Structure 1
Amino acid sequence: MSTQSPQRPESPGLRMGRPFGIPVYVSPTWLIVAAFITYTFQPMVAMELPDRDTLVTYLVAFVFAVFLYVSVLLHELAHCVVARYFGLPVKRITLYLLGGVSEIEREPETPAREFSVAFAGPLLSLGLAAVGFFASDLFPVGTIPHVLVWQLWISNLIVGVFNMLPGLPLDGGRMLRAGVWKLTRDSGKGTLAAAWFGRGLAVVLVLYALAAPAMTGQGTSWSLLLWSVLLASFIWIGASQSLRVARVRARMPQLQARALARRAIPVTPEVPLAEALRRREQAQAGAMVVVDHEGDPIAIVNEAAVTATPEQRRPWVTVGSLARTLEPSLVLPADLSGEALIDAMRGAPSGEYLLVERDGGGVYGVLVTADVNRVFSGV
């Protein structure tokens, strides 16, 4: 399966290389599906290669599993190459249990670019399927190369067609999102439509697996049921995540640094915490900025550290010991809003940021991360 995600764990697995400068990782979960593919594919290999012993057929089945994931890697690389052509940063590709994920760190700016990035993967898979279809005739039937090439073109056809189904998080869902976005000029509506289509696809997959025995007159295929449930879970979870993202984006207009800022009072580093809190309460402020003896800000008092300090120790603890030095990345313009504000905070994670006026008008206040998070609480 193919999807695109902006955030994944920092240790995704074993690093395999950097094609086109894009790091590629293989998750340990790949071994699970490789073993499963080898086990389920071996009987078909044995039928196609009746003169080969069991060990050879298992090796051929395993080689097929490896080749299949190479096809998935090429599918993901197609997404990433087109994304980078449009100037979108690509963090990495991870191959995992159900396929691959391209970690593109920013959304395309237009519906046309969204469609192009999404369509690149299925287009390459269908192209590989076409090449494999014609190449399979080059090898005699009943040989190992013929078995591998024939199965690979079938697999790439399935990957290409399946990924074009119109529901997030599949590529077809992103193409549908681009279409709705183009028609409505609202990317949020596109996401909602494609995500609900994705949930519908997940339900249809499970219903099909349950109804297949009655339609075919055969017994329950446990491998079909297992794969259907796995794929349906993947699609449902991805679609649900997309719905949450859409709700987050809907609240972006409320995210304005100036509106969320807390009024701050200046204190020098040696002031006891108890005294600084008294001054803050008297001034009805919500934050404290540590300044030098010339009045220039040099640090921000960490609110979490203040809360964690027992009340009986506060007269003996200085505010300077509970403050984070003001690095340039912690000083933000007070007029930041929306995704620009989120990007600035993501670039330098902190509990507090100093807001200043762009025109050199001085300190406006302090932006506390917890206040930003409350904007999205309940999403």
Structure 2
Amino acid sequence: MRSLRSIDRVEQPSRPQPRTAGRPARPVGHVLRIPIYMNSSMLLLAALVTVVYGNWVRSELDLPDPVGYLVGLGFVACLLGSVLLHELGHALTARRYRIGVRGITLELLGGWTEMDRDAPTPKVDALVSLAGPLVSLVLGGVATAVTLALPDRTLADQVAFQLAASNLLVAVFNVLPGLPLDGGRALRAGLWALIKDRNRATEAAAWSGRVIAFACMVVAIWLYRLELVTLFGLAFVILVVFTLWQGAGQSIRLARMTRRFPLVDLAALARPLLTVPAGTPLGEAQRRRSEDPRPNVVLAVTDSAGNLTALVDPVAAERIPVDRRPWVAVDTVSRSRDAVPALPLGLSGEQVVRALQAHPAGQYVITAGEEDQDVVGVLRVGDVADVLEPRRPRRPAP
């Protein structure tokens, strides 16, 4: 059996992603002050490789069962080390060009490095992207030299050969010119330098990734029919192809969204406020809103001095039975003004998206005036999503 470590991707989003608090992976430590996370899917792969490789090496070298599985577990540890070194190649190169690294995640199909901003130039984008495959190529070369120096059909020889094959195959596979592979990012960098438009370059490289995914599927089925690939190998390739297709689709979607950032205008998206005094019955407040000629009016609560103190939560308000709304004060279904994130009116579209990603919430108050104290409207995150993805299915407005 000749193991193939799975694909790798560098997370270099077109714009910063939400903070890692919601990351679906467990922290396992730090390397060079870079947080390392492991997805639970990696444990599934580790168990599978331990059993499959352990059985193979046990039968090839006539080893006892416990020893074979122990060797399989050691091989998994070496593969994880190879994946980590590959990702560190990306991460340390990014640091070299002052791009912050939020963390490295190891998962079922390899790993990915999360960076806090885009590469500033096509050259840096290409260097960061190709650093990982270069590390894998060096590791594969070293393992190949070790394999040639060791006696044939020994345990050390077999492990070294597997490491050589997996790292070299990963290095070659990852430089294929299609997103989300590293070679796709290098292709994106080249197109970016040529046409001076990062988003169009990303979309083109992503479509190239989908072509590569389709080609991989065709080749895998052809090799399976020739009995050169096992059913397990075909299933693995299908999983890789699915991941490539999904990653390419995500890149296309992100590029199209990023192109629409300038259309995010807070002044145009701000929903107007209809203020009612604290203690106003919910039914009465909703009646006033229904009679207001302005579209998408948001109910807000003011104190006795007329200062805005809270925003009515539309979801909480709808949960109140209609027959009880005349007896329930708006205060009970409202959220304090201080608990709602604020966005200054003068932000650009890109700045708005960055702020929404850094501080996720359902709605935001839009402020203006001296020291941004005056609330001039409310932004619903769904309204921004409608601008960035106009073709997505829309939910009924609350």
TM-score, normalisation: structure 1: 0.88
Q: Which amino acid aligns with 1:276?
A: A
8 Å Cα contact 2:340-2:363 kept in structure 1: no
Residues in 2 aligned to 1:306 and 1:112: alpha-carbon distance in whole angstroms: 53
Q: Equivalent of 2:53, from 31, 35, 41? A: 41
1:3 is the counterpart of 2:13: no
Q: Taking structure 1 as reference, are residues 312 and 228 closer, same or farther at Cα in structure 2, changes over 3 Å only?
A: same
Q: Residue deviations 1:110-131, cap 9 Å, x none?
A: 3223222211211111122222
1:118 is the counterpart of 2:124: no
SS of match in other structure, 1:266: strand
SS of match in other structure, 2:22: coil
Residues in 1 aligned to 2:385 and 2:321: alpha-carbon distance in whole angstroms: 25
Structure 1 segments of 4 or more deviating over 6 A?
none
Q: Which ranges of structure 1 fall in alignment gaps of 5 or more residues? A: none
SS of match in other structure, 2:301: strand
Look up the match of 2:3.
none
Deviation at 1:55, TM superposition (A): 4.0
Look up the match of 1:167.
178
Of 294-303 and 33-42, deviating more is: 33-42
Residues in 2 aligned to 1:259 and 1:366: alpha-carbon distance in whole angstroms: 11
Look up the match of 2:268.
259
8 Å Cα contact 2:224-2:231 kept in structure 1: no
Look up the match of 1:334.
345
Query: Any residues of structure 2 matched to 1:217-256 within 5 Å, and which?
Result: 218=227, 221-256=230-265
Query: Any residues of structure 2 matched to 1:57-206 within 5 Å, and which?
Result: 57-206=68-217
Q: Taking structure 1 as reference, are residues 89 and 278 closer, same or farther at Cα in structure 2, changes over 3 Å only?
A: farther
Q: Taking structure 1 as reference, are residues 328 and 32 closer, same or farther at Cα in structure 2, changes over 3 Å only?
A: closer
Q: Taking structure 1 as reference, are residues 301 and 182 closer, same or farther at Cα in structure 2, changes over 3 Å only?
A: same
8 Å Cα contact 1:352-1:366 kept in structure 2: yes
SS of match in other structure, 1:295: coil
Residues in 1 aligned to 2:91 and 2:271: alpha-carbon distance in whole angstroms: 41
Q: Which has the higher contact order (CA 8 A, sep 6+)?
A: 2
Q: Taking structure 1 as reference, are residues 42 and 283 closer, same or farther at Cα in structure 2, changes over 3 Å only?
A: closer
8 Å Cα contact 1:166-1:175 kept in structure 2: yes
Q: Residue deviations 1:230-253, cap 9 Å, x none?
A: 211111111112122122223222
Q: Taking structure 1 as reference, are residues 315 and 50 closer, same or farther at Cα in structure 2, changes over 3 Å only?
A: closer
Q: Residue deviations 1:247-300, cap 9 Å, x none?
A: 222322221111101111333322222232333344434113323333332222
SS of match in other structure, 2:61: coil
TM-score, normalisation: structure 2: 0.84
Q: Which amino acid aligns with 2:166?
A: S
Residues in 2 aligned to 1:351 and 1:35: alpha-carbon distance in whole angstroms: 40
Q: Which amino acid aligns with 1:290?
A: V
Q: Which amino acid aligns with 1:103?
A: E
Deviation at 1:213, TM superposition (A): 5.3
8 Å Cα contact 1:12-1:94 kept in structure 2: no
Look up the match of 1:312.
323
SS of match in other structure, 1:327: helix
